[in-house]
């Protein structure tokens, strides 16, 4: 148990750690999801209505960090939506909880090893664009990774090619096709007056921004700001709720 706990808090994750966790999960579920959905604050209910539901608590999954923030349930949920297998994270990990970004992004590596191809990431964030209203949903078209500028980046350190290249291109980080799909569908549903598109900025938190900081981030080109790390290579798009 001590070793298991020590591993959970170890700040780096090797390929073998990821493989062990992936094999542990795949030997316990028949789901083989191609889509992963990360539920931000209060959005865990997205996983409530899946069929053939199978839930694992983070604390039972080898090497997985645990959720320490209210509103983040701490469960990995497998299930089907319209016949398609999906995996949901009911609760994510944040830098401000004391986890390294390697640990924060650990589930993304597990998803990759499982065969996931599309990741939908959702989170609560603060609106900076003056046209936005509280409760609006922003589809992220690009981001500014402020901690990354300061050397807080999960890809720092030796690069393991089994996960990808050393210098990933970020000019098309969020799938144009999927973003268009979201905007088309929400327009069809009559939601256009509260669905926006914009640039998300990540800060470390846990304090919210001062007025001067919020103004600065907006001048720098951000439309919303949050404490969530989305800079994964395989991510396709995400929503952020103001």
Ligand X SMILES: Nc1nc2[nH]cnc2c(=O)[nH]1
- Residue ranges in 211-230 that form contacts with ligand X under rule CB under 6 A: 225-227
Residue 169, both tokens: 């291109």
- Please give the Cα distance from 33 to 26 (Å, whole number): 10
Among ligand X, ligand R1P, none, the one that 92 touches (CB under a kind-dependent 5 to 8 A) is: ligand R1P
Residue 124 or 137 with smaller CB distance to ligand X: 124
Residues that bind ligand R1P (CB under 6 A): 40-41, 69, 92, 94, 123-124, 205, 226-228
Among 125, 145, 222, 231, which residue sits at the site for ligand X (rule: CB under 6 A)? 125
Give the interface size with ligand X as a residue count (CB under 6 A): 10
| Residue 42 interacts with ligand X (CB under 6 A): yes or no | no
Beta bridge partners of 55: 77
For 219, counting Cβ atoms within 10 Å of its Cβ (0-12 exposed, 13-18 middle, 19+ buried), the class is: exposed
| Residue 199 interacts with ligand X (CB under 6 A): yes or no | no
Give, in degrees to the nearest 5, the angle at Cα 117 between 166 and 165. Answer: 10
| Residue 124 interacts with ligand X (CB under 6 A): yes or no | yes
The minimum distance between CB 198 and ligand R1P, in angstroms, equals 16
Residue 140, both tokens: 């992220």
For 63, counting Cβ atoms within 10 Å of its Cβ (0-12 exposed, 13-18 middle, 19+ buried), the class is: buried
The binding site for ligand X (CB under 6 A) comprises: 124-126, 203, 205, 208-209, 225-227
């Amino acid at each position: 148990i001590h070793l298991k706990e020590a591993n959970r808090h170890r700040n780096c994750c090797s390929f073998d750690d990821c493989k062990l966790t992936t094999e542990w999960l795949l030997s316990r579920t028949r789901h083989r999801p191609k889509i992963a959905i990360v539920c931000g604050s209060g959005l865990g209910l997205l996983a409530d209505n899946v069929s053939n539901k199978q839930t694992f608590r983070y604390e039972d999954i080898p090497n997985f960090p645990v959720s320490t923030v209210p509103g983040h349930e701490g469960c990995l949920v497998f299930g089907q939506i319209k016949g398609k297998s999906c995996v949901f994270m009911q609760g994510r990990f944040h830098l401000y909880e004391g986890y390294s970004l390697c640990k924060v992004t650990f589930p993304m590596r597990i998803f990759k090893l499982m065969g996931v191809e599309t990741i939908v990431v959702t989170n609560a964030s603060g609106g900076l664009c003056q046209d936005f209203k509280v409760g609006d949903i922003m589809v992220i078209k690009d981001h500014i990774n402020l901690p990354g500028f300061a050397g807080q980046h999960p890809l720092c350190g030796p690069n393991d090619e089994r996960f990808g290249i050393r210098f990933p291109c970020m000019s098309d980080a969020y799938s144009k096709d999927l973003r268009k799909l979201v905007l088309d569908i929400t327009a069809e549903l009559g939601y256009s007056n509260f669905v926006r598109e914009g640039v998300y900025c990540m800060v470390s938190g846990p304090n919210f921004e001062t007025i001067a900081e919020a103004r600065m981030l907006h001048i720098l080109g951000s439309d919303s700001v949050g404490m969530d790390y989305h800079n994964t290579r395989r991510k396709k798009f995400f929503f952020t709720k103001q």
